[in-house]
């Protein structure tokens, strides 16, 4: 495509505009060329809207001076009688008066100097810049909080009406859906609370929305990291967490250093460390147990506070048969099966719990069945003889 240009220029506070865009590039990271392209695109729309133009228009802004040039693009046709629409076409004869090198099929660009377009252009440029600053700020905040997924944040409750809870996190709002709230907690406006950043989404008009949780198991994991330096430093590892939010949770800890008591370190002197976490969770009970690579030992610990007599494991099925004393059965199972359920989640094993009496009855019944089978086999053998 061959072009023509004339020397009529139109500037819109050019120096101020370019300086402003340079500053935005330095301070906000908004690419200057990206801004200029967005302004040029918006100017074409503004031109057509304000001048009711059906022309094909191209508008450029000088990268250094900010001067704006408006070009009407017309297809070059051979003869004047071939021109069907003078706004879109131009004869070769007229085109060569502008540029002698133009040929049929080229596009001739005729620079326009529309009256009062400088004011329209200035308003349009300002609107685009404001919009792009807003978009850039949203993108910056989205990226910042997206990188902070998995962290704990503090905020002030702005809305709490029994549905979602909205928190003021400073520059953004945090939204805590009902399923991410602790069922036993009641949130009130102006409460200062902490929550776990679960996800970051694009909300209405592209604004980032931070999804937070107090019910997630990793909220407990992060609280342990904050309260117990040995976990933060990696001296003690959290091997697993299972939780019924607001009621009870179990945390399995381990240290490769034999001189460190992982459970004692987490509980702290007089239980002060674990109490800080319990307070944050508004009284949620926490069982801290020691992880073991021996599944039988690990499962026994996971069923605390119940005392386990024996564990028979079937590794290929990840199934464990657990025997407890009669007086420990209800404790091992827990209210509504909670203790057994949390232990199963923590260990990732299927756990069947029986009391000593139940186990003896089961063995007795099994022995009776075996004796009956032997007797039947013996009778069948005699009959066969």
Domain count, the chain: 4
224 and 203 in one domain? no
Nearest to residue 70, comparing CAs of 2, 9, 4? 9
- Domain of 14, CATH number, reads 3.30.1480.10
At 21 the pLDDT is 78
207 and 95 in one domain? no
* Structural domain includes residue 246: yes
At 380 the pLDDT is 57
- Domain of 167, CATH number, reads 2.40.50.140
* Structural domain includes residue 344: yes
Instruction: Return averaged pLDDT per consecutive 10 residues of the chain, 385 residues in all.
Output: 41 64 75 81 81 76 80 84 80 82 84 75 78 79 88 94 89 91 93 95 81 96 94 94 96 94 92 93 95 95 93 94 93 94 96 89 71 61 55
Q: Give the domain range for residue 161.
A: 150-212
At 55 the pLDDT is 73
156 and 134 in one domain? no
Half-sphere exposure of 135 (CA within 13 A, CB side): 11
35 and 92 in one domain? yes
207 and 257 in one domain? no
275 and 332 in one domain? no
201 and 249 in one domain? no
At 12 the pLDDT is 47
How far is residue 239's CA from residue 254's CA, in Å, rounded to a whole number?
A: 7
Last residue of a domain, one of 118, 143, 168: 143
At 9 the pLDDT is 40
284 and 170 in one domain? no
- Domain of 279, CATH number, reads 3.30.300.20
24 and 118 in one domain? yes
158 and 131 in one domain? no
* Structural domain includes residue 2: no
14-34 core/surface letters (b: 16 or more CB in 10 A; e: else): beebbebbeebeeeeebeeee
* Structural domain includes residue 137: yes
* Structural domain includes residue 310: yes
Q: Is 99 helix (H, G, I), strand (E, B) or coil?
A: coil
How far is residue 136's CA from residue 31's CA, in Å, rounded to a whole number?
A: 10
205 and 225 in one domain? no
Helices within 334-355 (DSSP H only): 338-347
248 and 158 in one domain? no
Last residue of a domain, one of 241, 257, 291: 291
The answer to whether the beta carbons of residues 70 and 112 sit under 8 Å apart is yes
Cβ count near 41 (within 10 Å)? 12
* Structural domain includes residue 296: no
At 372 the pLDDT is 61
* Structural domain includes residue 3: no
How far is residue 183's CA from residue 12's CA, in Å, rounded to a whole number?
A: 59
Last residue of a domain, one of 291, 320, 344: 291
* Structural domain includes residue 1: no
Tokens 């007599």: give the residue.
309
């Amino acid at each position: 495509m061959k072009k023509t240009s004339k020397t009529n220029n139109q500037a819109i506070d050019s120096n101020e505009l370019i300086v402003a865009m340079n500053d935005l590039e330095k301070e906000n990271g908004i690419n200057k060329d990206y801004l200029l392209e967005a302004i040029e695109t918006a100017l074409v729309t503004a031109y057509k809207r304000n001048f009711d133009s059906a022309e094909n228009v191209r508008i450029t802004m000088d990268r250094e001076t900010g001067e704006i040039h408006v070009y009407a693009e017309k297809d070059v046709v051979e003869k004047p009688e071939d021109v069907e629409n003078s706004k879109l076409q131009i004869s070769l004869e007229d085109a060569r008066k502008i540029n002698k090198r133009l040929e049929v099929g080229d596009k001739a660009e005729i620079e326009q100097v529309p009256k009062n377009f400088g004011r329209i252009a200035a308003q349009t440029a300002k609107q685009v810049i404001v919009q792009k600053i807003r978009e850039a700020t949203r993108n910056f905040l989205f990226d910042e909080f997206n990188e902070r997924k998995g962290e704990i944040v503090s905020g002030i409750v702005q809305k709490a009406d029994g549905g979602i809870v909205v928190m003021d996190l400073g520059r953004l709002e945090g939204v805590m859906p009902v399923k991410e709230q602790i069922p036993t907690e009641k949130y009130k406006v102006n409460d200062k609370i902490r929550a776990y950043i679960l996800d970051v989404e694009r909300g209405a008009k592209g604004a980032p929305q931070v999804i937070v949780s107090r019910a997630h198991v990793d909220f407990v994991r992060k609280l342990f990291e904050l309260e117990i330096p040995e976990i933060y430093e990696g001296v003690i590892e959290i091997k697993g967490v299972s939780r019924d939010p607001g009621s009870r949770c179990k945390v399995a800890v381990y240290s490769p250093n034999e001189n460190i008591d992982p459970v004692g370190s987490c509980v702290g002197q007089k239980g002060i460390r674990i109490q800080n976490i319990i307070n944050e969770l508004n009284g949620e009970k926490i069982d801290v147990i020691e992880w073991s690579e021996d599944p039988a030992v690990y499962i026994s610990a996971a069923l605390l506070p119940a005392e386990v007599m024996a564990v028979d494991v079937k590794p290929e099925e990840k199934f464990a048969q657990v025997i407890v004393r009669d007086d420990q059965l209800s404790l091992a199972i827990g209210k509504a099966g909670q203790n057994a359920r949390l232990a199963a989640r923590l260990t990732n094993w299927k756990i069947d719990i029986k009391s000593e009496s139940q186990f003896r009855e089961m063995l007795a019944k099994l022995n009776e069945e075996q004796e009956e089978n032997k007797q039947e086999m013996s009778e069948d053998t005699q009959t066969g003889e």
